[in-house]
Amino acid sequence: MPLTARIRVRTYELDSFGHVNNAVYLQYFEEARSEYLLQLGLSFDDFARTQTLFVITEARVRYVSSARYGDELLITGEIESAGPATALFTYKVTRNGTLIAEGETRGAFLSATTGRPIRTPEPFKSAFAPKTS
């Protein structure tokens, strides 16, 4: 089951041409990741509890169509892969079934105290593991 988030386009997200500014899609991905964590039974409190940071190291967005004020966007995604210290999230942004954008972000787990890379801590390791039927 894909992870999902819904976002309604707000006026301050528009550029001078009246469509969502390209940089805003990375903010949508951030909001979606936060929602995904909740759907996996996690929250940002789990980062504090495990003294962990999750830092985005790469981001890619492919723009297909424009979104405008008031549009309700559905962001579906998944954790494409999870390595010993990283995770790759993929995203599709649609409006009524029409693809608006797609992309991915890769992040690395760091110690909140040292800022150095660490192995994926529990409970993230279990939540990010592939689910078998």
Q: What is the pTM of this model?
A: 0.90
All structural domains of the chain, each given as residue ranges with its CATH number in brackets, are 3-128 (3.10.129.10)
Residue 67 pLDDT: 98
Q: Please report, as a single letter, which amino acid is at residue 78.
A: E
Q: Under a CB-based contact definition with an 8 Å cutoff, are residues 13 and 24 in contact?
A: yes
Walking along the chain (133 residues) 10 residues at a time, the average pLDDT comes out as 88 97 96 90 90 96 98 94 93 97 97 96 86 59
CA–CA dist 7, 20 (Å, integer):
12
Q: Please report, as a single letter, which amino acid is at residue 97.
A: G
CA–CA dist 44, 34 (Å, integer):
8
Residue 1 pLDDT: 55
Residue 102 pLDDT: 98
Residue 3 pLDDT: 87
Residue with tokens 């994926």: 120
Residue 43 pLDDT: 86
Residue 121 pLDDT: 92
